[in-house]
Amino acid sequence: MFGFSIWEIFLILVIALIVVGPERLPGLARTIGSWVYKVKKFVANAKAELDSEFNLSDMKNLLTAQESELSKLRALVEETRQEVTESGRHMLGAMDEAEASLRAAAQSEQKKLSAIDSDTVPAAVEKIDQTADNNASSPELAPEPTPEPAPRALSFDDEIRALEQSAGQPFKRPFEASPEAPLASTPPSVTPSSDSKTP
């Protein structure tokens, strides 16, 4: 229990017999035995209380359950990360393919436009030059003079006056007429004022 051999225990008993004496040795052994019993009982009670207080077994079970849940979550997160990475790769690949096809289409259209420009631009310039020469030589095709700018816009009152002149009669304007005379004045209120004293 304490790591003593049989000879060490025998030596301790002999020394205790010499120090205490043969009369008091049985009482001392009984007292030491009761102390050891009390210490063991105290340790057992303390351990039981600590176990019940901290519920170590329940905590261990809870920790193992949480660890299993965490491992499931880690696996789920890793799986989701891999799926997102894979879908991102697919999207980037599709974008690269679309970009390449758009570049190829743009280059082919650019080649077509440059071929059209090289064929038609000189002919169009020549045709414009001929038309300009013909217009300069014929007076009936001379450019028309530019029209004069339109008169400035009339104000609202000017427009109303113009409409009255064209209609031959003045318009009735309710907003310029004064309102009818007010009704007879009302009698003064009979509510008592706060200054008057009540009898």
pLDDT of residue 178: 46
User: pLDDT per position in the chain (199 positions), as tens?
Assistant: 467 788 998 898 888 888 888 888 889 889 989 999 999 999 999 988 887 777 767 778 888 999 999 999 999 999 999 999 999 999 999 999 999 998 998 888 888 777 776 666 666 667 777 776 666 565 555 556 566 666 666 677 788 888 888 888 777 765 554 445 555 566 666 666 655 555 5
- CA distances to 15, 86, 169 from 164, rounded to whole Å, are 144, 79, 6
**pLDDT per residue over 113-124, tens digit each?**
777 766 666 666
Neighbours of 40 (CB within 10 A): 10
List CB contacts of 141: < 8 A, sequence separation 6 or more.
134, 135
What is the residue extent of each domain of the chain?
56-113
pLDDT of residue 44: 94
- The rounded distance, in Å, linking the Cα atoms of 24 and 104 is 113
pLDDT of residue 69: 92
Whether 134 and 141 have beta carbons less than 8 Å apart is answered as yes
Expressed in angstroms, the distance from the first to the final Cα of the chain is: 108
Q: Is 140 helix (H, G, I), strand (E, B) or coil?
A: helix
pLDDT of residue 136: 59
pLDDT of residue 165: 85
- CA distances to 50, 92, 93 from 88, rounded to whole Å, are 54, 6, 8
- The rounded distance, in Å, linking the Cα atoms of 57 and 65 is 12
